[in-house]
Amino acid sequence: MKHFLILSLLLITASSINGQNSEYEAVKKTVNYYLEGGTNNDFETLKKAFHKTATMRYIREGYQDVNALEFFKKVMKPGPKQNRKTKVVNVDISGHAATARLEIEYPTFTFIDYMSLLKIDGEWKIVSKIFYKKAHETSSK
C-alpha cells in the first residue's frame, strides 16, 4: 500500500509538471511570434502574439498609451533582418494568466519588455506590454 501511494504521488507530480511545461512552451511560442516578427520585420508573424485590443504603455516624452498592433503596423516596414539578439528571460504562469520578461539587445541599447498574457479561447495572447529602453554604457579607450 505504501508503495502504491508513493507511485501515485509521483505520477500526479509528473503529470502536473508536464502540464506546466506545455503551458510554459505555449507562452514561449506566443512571445516568440513577437520576437521573430520584430527581428524579421514581419508584421503578420508579430500580429499572432497580440490580442487585437492589446495595449502598449511606455515613457517617451511623458506617459504613452497606445494599441500595440496599431503601433507596430505603423512603424514596421519590410526590410532586412534586424541586427539584434532576443531572449526570453522569465515566464511566470498562474492558471490562465502569465507574465514574460524579454530582452532585445541591439548594438547600442537593450529593450526590456514585460508582457502580460491571458489564455483566451485556448490560446495565449499578449494583452499588455510595457518596456524600458536601457542604453549600453560606452567605454572610452
Tell me the C-alpha distance between 34 and 68, whole Å: 11
- Supply the CATH classification number for the domain 2-135: 3.10.450.50
Residue pLDDT, tens place only, 51-64: 999 999 999 999 99
What is the distance between the alpha carbons of residues 128 and 53, in angstroms, rounded to a whole number? 9
pLDDT of residue 124: 98
Q: Which of 92, 87, 100 is nearest to 129 (CA)?
A: 100
With 50 as the cut, is the pLDDT of residue 126 above it?
Answer: yes
Residue 80 clears pLDDT 60, i.e. is over it: yes
The pTM of this model reads 0.82
Of 113, 115, 105, nearest to 135 (Cα)? 105
* Whether 121 contacts 135, CB under 8 Å: no
